[in-house]
Amino acid sequence: MKYKIDVVRIRENSIELNGWVVGKNPESKATFRVLDEKKQPVKFKCVSTRRDDVSHIYFKKIYDKDFGFDIRFPYERGKTYWLLIRCEGRQASVKYNEELIAKRASVAHKRMEKIRDLMNMETVRVAWNFFKEHGLRALVVKSKHKLQGIDNDYEYGEWYELTKPSEEELQRQRETPLPDRPLLSIAIPVYKTPPRYLREMLDSILAQTYENWEVCIADGSPAGESLEKVLKEYAGKDARFRYEILGKNLGIAGNTNAAIAMAKGDYLILADHDDTLPSHALYEVAKAAGERPDCQVIYSDEDKLDMDGKALFDPHFKPDFNPDLLTSVNYICHLFVVRMDLLKKVGLFRQEFDGAQDYDFIFRCTEAAKEVYHIPKVLYHWRCHQNSTASNPDSKRYAFEAGARAIMAHYERMGIKALSVEKGVDYGIYHTKFEIQGNPLVSVIIPNKDHSQDLDTCLRSILERCTYKNLEFIVVENNSTQPETFRYYEQIQKEFPCVRVVRWEREFNYSAINNFGAGFAKGEYLLLLNNDTEAINPDFIQEMLGFCQREDVGIVGARLLYGDDTIQHAGVVIGFGGIAGHTFIGLHKAENSYFHRAMCAQDYSAVTAACLMTKKSVFDQVGGLSQELAVAFNDIDYCMKVRALGKLVVYAPYALLYHYESKSRGLEDTPEKVARFNREVAIFIKKWPDIIRKGDPYYNPNLTLRKSNFALRDLLKEKIGEPYDLSAYEKFAPEEKS
């Protein structure tokens, strides 16, 4: 027998218990008793509930059977009670009193609950498979991160309750009309929907604080299985509900198009038949639409809803519009809103993309939109069940194949030459290989001071193992003192004529050194590279060049690993640690990152210059690296200057190298170095105050700035949307020259 009490609540003079119980046989029935402290029976009410998630986990299929329970019994403060659970001849006894209930809610108890949840055969199976594929070291790192996650400040359900609008705020939304009140049309295709789920969706719309909406439902269920009874009921009590019984299934695209054809609103909202909307969702959409007259596409954050509709989990806090991330994964998904004038321009859903029809539609809308706006709030609860791509991608593999075709169609419309769109780290995650235009010369610029062995490893990993050959290497010698370094320079230049050593004979200034090296470059593209790197992927230059050749791209960064195969760099977020920091530091290369972001090509505000490709013309246009930033933040500043031109900074995860960081650079361990660092922080803040104040558009204000793993914000230490207070650095800013 397996059981779990998920929720315990004291409500005035009663206790409510929500949980589940299963035996070895799915047909086995559980019985319950409640006893007081004198072991006398206590009358209780028990309601059985469906728990399809439990059914799937323990029996690998969904049974039409109730494994869950809601139990309520009278409760007198100060007394103790026992819940007895019996199934297949086994019995469990669970004790309840005020002290134990309070303890259950404590952080320590929640930690133990999480640990116990991990102690099951499914965890063992997953761990064993991970060990076989990636080895012991990777398993140890992953296990460490799993256990560290147990100490997170909040479960998402608790976090959501603390951050969602209060009842007072919802009432204010109902009573205070917005200046602009567009009609919002919600299109819902229906197909053999369980009536309970459809009712929950429609009830969630009825509960909206914004009232200028209409619901357009097209029921494509087979004859005799329509939802007409439910639909007629809702249309009868509210004229804003309209529906059409199609009499047959027109496919996902056809059913959706039929619902869209009924819409008369200013904006169209897409919704699935078994999901729900929080009560402030439409208000936030209408508010955003009114404040942004040029906005033609709106999307929000989302989370998942369990089958019983009682628990929220797996929130997806998204970046602002990120076109390259969209070609890696349909990260926009729900809630998706399009203005009707744009809809008429781009057309309806296309049957040939069934399974990824929304992905294709989102591409066409975002390509043509004047403005795409992201609301960084959860405005959609996506019900997760066995046959949904939300929880079981393998069950709809055809959908991901349709997604690859949607991506290729997008590239064709945009004039981007792609060789292939392949499966990435998982189904639904895509890896594009681009066609390289011509055979452009790439100038690789590597500053070096001594450390000739590191430099040799770096050079040979590219010269001997990498597949792109039209390269020149400019090694910028920077005040080396070891005689063997200069002997190495002579030897490597004789062995490889494409290697050239030039001498920088002034004080150390990383920006000035790279600018000096770029002055000798003959290539159309520059690759700034640290001497303590080593290529892993032989095609890493093509991976970067494929993006960099695009007109809208100015910079491309790589995925860098420490020597132990954990992540050193997978993009940069402005605000991490106060100013800027790398994402997913310390995560093993085989671990899953937040919605697979470490393995998705995407746009970031910045990438590290430890391995950075850029157009030579762009480098010259912005004046190279800023020399007032001699050591810190010069690469971040360069990315900001290029973005100010309207160019994208792209992270290419399949451009993979080792970065043996700190081998060739000293620590900030002297008063002079600390003072210089503080001065450079102040310079960066003064140059780019907007992004420091408003936050990184490629991150999300609901996520923490104190860790690199995209965890939820700590509500005790970080207010939502509030950056760090950086006023302490102002005194370090250099005085402006008159």
3-state secondary structure 183-213: CEEEEEEECCCCHHHHHHHHHHHHCCCCCCE
Range of lowest pLDDT (53-62, 495-504, 570-579, 660-669): 660-669
- Encoded tokens for 133: 């594929």
465-to-185, 458, 489, 529, 542 alpha-carbon distances in Å: 56, 11, 21, 16, 13
How far apart are the C-alpha atoms of 131 and 139, rounded to whole Å?
6
pLDDT of 311 > 90? The answer is no
> Average pLDDT for residues 727-733, to the nearest whole number?
55
Quote the pLDDT of residue 131. 62
The pairing of beta strand 68-74 with beta strand 184-190: unpaired
pLDDT of 513 > 60? The answer is yes
pLDDT of 147 > 60? The answer is no
Of residues 383 and 656, more confidence is placed in 656
Please provide the DSSP assignment of 456-506 as one string. HHHHHHHHTT-S---EEEEEEEE----HHHHHHHHHHHHH-TTEEEEEE-S
Quote the pLDDT of residue 326. 98
Quote the pLDDT of residue 219. 94
Residue 229 phi/psi, 5-degree rounding, is -60, -45
Q: Which residues contact residue 224 at a Cβ distance below 8 angstroms, ignoring those fewer than 6 apart?
A: none
- The pTM of this model reads 0.78
Four-residue CA torsion sign, 540, 542, 547, 549:
positive
Cβ-based neighbour number of residue 100 at 10 Å: 14
Structure confidence by residue, pLDDT tens digits, 350-372: 999 998 999 999 999 999 999 99
Domains and CATH numbers, the chain: 2-105 (2.60.40.10), 111-151 (no CATH), 167-413 (3.90.550.10), 442-729 (3.90.550.10)
Quote the pLDDT of residue 387. 42
Structure confidence by residue, pLDDT tens digits, 191-242: 998 899 999 999 999 999 999 999 999 999 998 888 999 999 999 999 999 9
Quote the pLDDT of residue 737. 47
Of residues 201 and 8, more confidence is placed in 201
The pairing of beta strand 499-504 with beta strand 184-190: unpaired
Confidence bin at 664 (pLDDT 50/70/90): very low
Confidence bin at 159 (pLDDT 50/70/90): confident
Structure confidence by residue, pLDDT tens digits, 249-295: 999 899 999 999 999 999 999 999 989 999 999 999 999 999 999 99
Quote the pLDDT of residue 125. 64
> Average pLDDT for residues 371-388, to the nearest whole number?
84
Q: What is the mean pLDDT of the chain?
A: 87
Confidence bin at 673 (pLDDT 50/70/90): low
3 state SS of 384: coil
Reported as half-sphere exposure (CB side, CA atoms, 13 A), residue 448 has a value of 31
Quote the pLDDT of residue 397. 77
Of residues 388 and 355, more confidence is placed in 355
Burial class (CB in 10 A: 0-12, 13-18, 19+), 368: middle
CA angle 145, 384, 30 (to 5 degrees): 90
Measure CA of the first residue to CA of the last residue in the chain; give whole Å: 80
Most confident of the ranges 135-144, 463-472, 709-718:
463-472
DSSP 8-class letter at 320: S
pLDDT of 523 > 50? The answer is yes
- Encoded tokens for 454: 């590191």
> Average pLDDT for residues 140-145, to the nearest whole number?
60
Burial class (CB in 10 A: 0-12, 13-18, 19+), 257: buried
Quote the pLDDT of residue 75. 84
Instruction: Identify how many contiguous H helices and E strands the chain contains and give both numbers.
Output: 23, 29
Of residues 340 and 711, more confidence is placed in 340
Closest among 409, 417, 430, 421 to 364, alpha carbons compared: 409
Structure confidence by residue, pLDDT tens digits, 617-645: 999 999 999 998 888 889 999 999 999 99
Please provide the DSSP assignment of 150-169 as one string. TT-S--HHHHHHHHSPPHHH
Placement of tokens 């919704």 in the chain: 271
Quote the pLDDT of residue 623. 96
How far apart are the C-alpha atoms of 9 and 664, rounded to whole Å?
58
Please provide the DSSP assignment of 96-111 as one string. E-HHHHHHHTSHHHHH
CA angle 662, 664, 668 (to 5 degrees): 55
Cβ-based neighbour number of residue 254 at 10 Å: 19
Contact 251, 225 (CB under 8 A): no
CA angle 91, 92, 97 (to 5 degrees): 145
Placement of tokens 């054809």 in the chain: 261
Confidence bin at 108 (pLDDT 50/70/90): very low
Quote the pLDDT of residue 142. 58
Range of lowest pLDDT (53-62, 75-84, 116-125): 116-125
Structure confidence by residue, pLDDT tens digits, 181-193: 999 999 999 999 8
How far apart are the C-alpha atoms of 22 and 31, rounded to whole Å?
11
Range of lowest pLDDT (450-459, 519-528, 676-685): 676-685
Confidence bin at 12 (pLDDT 50/70/90): low
The pairing of beta strand 295-305 with beta strand 312-316: antiparallel
How far apart are the C-alpha atoms of 522 and 542, rounded to whole Å?
19
Percent of the chain whose pLDDT exceeds 90? 61
Quote the pLDDT of residue 286. 97
How far apart are the C-alpha atoms of 374 and 297, rounded to whole Å?
9
How far apart are the C-alpha atoms of 297 and 515, rounded to whole Å?
41
Cβ-based neighbour number of residue 552 at 10 Å: 14
Quote the pLDDT of residue 61. 73
The pairing of beta strand 471-478 with beta strand 580-582: unpaired
Reported as half-sphere exposure (CB side, CA atoms, 13 A), residue 443 has a value of 25
How far apart are the C-alpha atoms of 251 and 258, rounded to whole Å?
11
Quote the pLDDT of residue 738. 39
Quote the pLDDT of residue 38. 87
The pairing of beta strand 611-615 with beta strand 525-529: antiparallel
Closest among 638, 606, 628, 723 to 683, alpha carbons compared: 628
560-to-133, 226, 557 alpha-carbon distances in Å: 21, 54, 9
Contact 323, 235 (CB under 8 A): no
